Chains A and B, each alone.
Chain A
Amino acid sequence: MLNPDAAVPLEQQFVLSNLAPGRAQKRLAAGVVIGLLVALYLITGPLSGIQLGTVNAFVAVYATAMFVTDSVTAVLLYAQFSILRSRAILVIASGYLFTAFIVVLYVLAFPGVLAPNALIGGVQTAAWLYVTWHTVFPLFVIVYALTKDEDPAKRLWHGKTSTAILWSIAWTAALAAAAGFVFARGNAELPRIMVDPTRFGPNWPYLVGAPIVTVCTVAIAVLWLRRRSVLDLWLMVVMCLYLVEVPLSYYPAPMRFSMGWYAVRVVGFVSSSLLLSVLLYEITALYAQLLGAVRGQRRERQARLLTGDAVAASMAHEMRQPLTAMITTADAGFRFLDRDAPNLDRAKEAFRRIAADGHRAGALVGSIRGNFKSDVTQRESFDLNELVQEALSLGSSELQRHRILVEAEQNRQLPAVTGNRVQLQQVLLNLIMNAVDAMAPKSEPRVLTVRSEPCEDGRVKVSVADTGPGIAPTDVENMFNPLFTTKSDGMGMGLSICRAIIEAHDSRLWFTPNTPRGAVFHFTLQATRPTPAIA
């Protein structure tokens, strides 16, 4: 069995003929096969005594249904071929098209359906067409199974897919037509399968049963050895259905329009529509997944665009303050110089202040770069315990004011982490302050828990938990959108900027509900070394 990931390019893993079957699918397939065996036992055993009448119209209805389902399956598989360019898919599509053609000839040759005798050929023609149908389709399956895992150079079709499909249809039609011609013309010369239009002769097991059983068994074996995709799984089930038709046709009564014979038509229709149903179900499921992914992507992009706007807005505000100070101080400086007796000391002082504000603006620009360009040079290795303590002591006045109990155990096993210490302190402080704001209006026990623990993937997870009202389901989507706030005096920038900082550290910020109430915000940081630091 091949590794599906190695054999299939990433972007094609969502195409059905490449998709690996899930557990439920495998169970369903096994269920179908077991159900079939039970039906086989019932029909050949307890139900074998039931006599059924000869309904010629049944053959026409059966053939029409088979033709429609097989053609639709062929169309879907041709569509898959045009995406994947896999010759194997082209082969199996041709197989389904072949059965669609053959079933038309079968109904034309069946005695008493469209004419009192067979419309084409004679008594033997329909039976030989049945043999062809049930041996050639498994041959297509075998070729499919043998070609599907070849190396890409040979496996893939490099020409135009429409040309390939047209050639495939032409060859399949020619093959079916040739079979129809040979069996219609050779009715008299061919070995006799039928004794009369309804009864099978004694040669039936050798001329019909044995060839079908042989090719179907080989097909199942080859598919089993190379099983990988949803398509492989269900083709195996289809081959099992083909196999079951053999004993049902001959036992208990070796004749047409017996209980077993009708059962065979039903099994035949099931096998024909089985793959179609699976294909349609999978296509719908994949479509739903795709839709969900596109929606998610769109939401993510919108949130990002808004984050960009918010960053620009907050930048503009941050820059406005030192610029205002500089302009105002410059005005003051002019006024000190413009006096009849210029006050040089005050003017000098004004210049000093302008310079200081200029540096402040410069530092702001620098910090913006640091925040959003994920400046690697500013990253350092530090002890997360210390950072948590610092953030808590920075927020201690607020924590005390609202009488909030702080639970923050120092974890001595914690490895040192790498990141921009100042930014991460801001993130922690922001999360702590959010927790304080969430708990402030509540009279219940107010507990802030800050926990940090190593993860399996060489990262350290930091969680800030509160016992506030938690996050309303309606707010979940907007949570990280800038300008979203539940506080009357908040700007709503906090969480979106926290997320920007955490994402610049190649991590993410997320939240979960706290039990019994409240919210927990988490983020992870890269450990400097995978081994724990010496405490």
Chain B
Amino acid sequence: MLAPPDQMRAGPPRAGVARRAVLRAVLRGAGAAALALAAPAVARAETPTDAGPIRLPGPWGETRLARPARRVVSLGYTSQDGLLALGVVPVGLRHWFGDHPYGVWPWAQPLLGEARPVLMRGEVSIETVAGLAPDLIVAAGSGIGRAEHDLLTRVAPVLMQAPGRPVFGSPWPEDLRRLGLALGRAARAEALIAQVEDAFAALRARRPDWRGRSAVAAWRNGGETGAFMPADSRARFLADLGFRAPEALSRLPAPGGFYATLSPEDLSPLDADVLVWISSFDRAPDLAALPMRRTLVAHREGREVFAGPLVAGALSFGSVLSLPYALRALEPEIAAALDGRPGTPVPSAVRAGLAP
């Protein structure tokens, strides 16, 4: 069982689970939970209620908690972000990729503070998990199998993704809502979701000219060049900024659904109004040296953006904390690419050596 290659990571559909309905149900069920909406960094315990145990459905049975969890082991490759956003520092967490202290990327580091969680690499070690004596194990997006799940439930309740969701493709707001319920911080989860959705809405209002223009998230890896399909988290991110996918992209075969591989003899499907290169490992020299890239109009007119390891990581994480980070990083870059003047330098493309 290996981690999802970040390039292939499924995209969390961000649209519409009925947020209000859930919120209403939560408020009814948990009584008047304290509406500690703002300041996610402040850990304020929302009072546990006597409304009975917390119960969450999962693909392999229900997760039951007598009281909101506080000592949490995070086995999902990205679930540490949600926990930190909700103000609970996990006692142990899973390494996905990148070299960041304790496996916590820069967008979440301030929330980690002085904490020193145990970083778990490779396969899940039941012994390590048990040694941490958690009262909740978050395994949504971890890729563990049924047998591991059943074994882990003997250590502590295990929270998986919602039933029917793909292991690496459950929508982040849904995962965050479930985390919020398990931690007794449902209201804060709703507030965080609203904050991120508002940030995207505010950007679309700020940049009305982006609406309807075409954008592609592209990758180059191991000698292959390709594009992320509309279902992927990176392409969805661009869609959330108001962009549309070029038509040539939808005609490409994408066996896994999330990305298409192009022939090195024809990169024309990448020739959109904005071409965002996603490079999670440092492969900028390969891109800069790719002769076929120079035949793209987007290249000649300076409409390429380079999302280096940090921004690419933020898009791969696709979490409540990483998405605003990616938004802040990419907005000025895309604006420089789309300003209508080929001469305007796009800082990231210049740094990566991609500028015309």
**A, B from the same assembly:** no
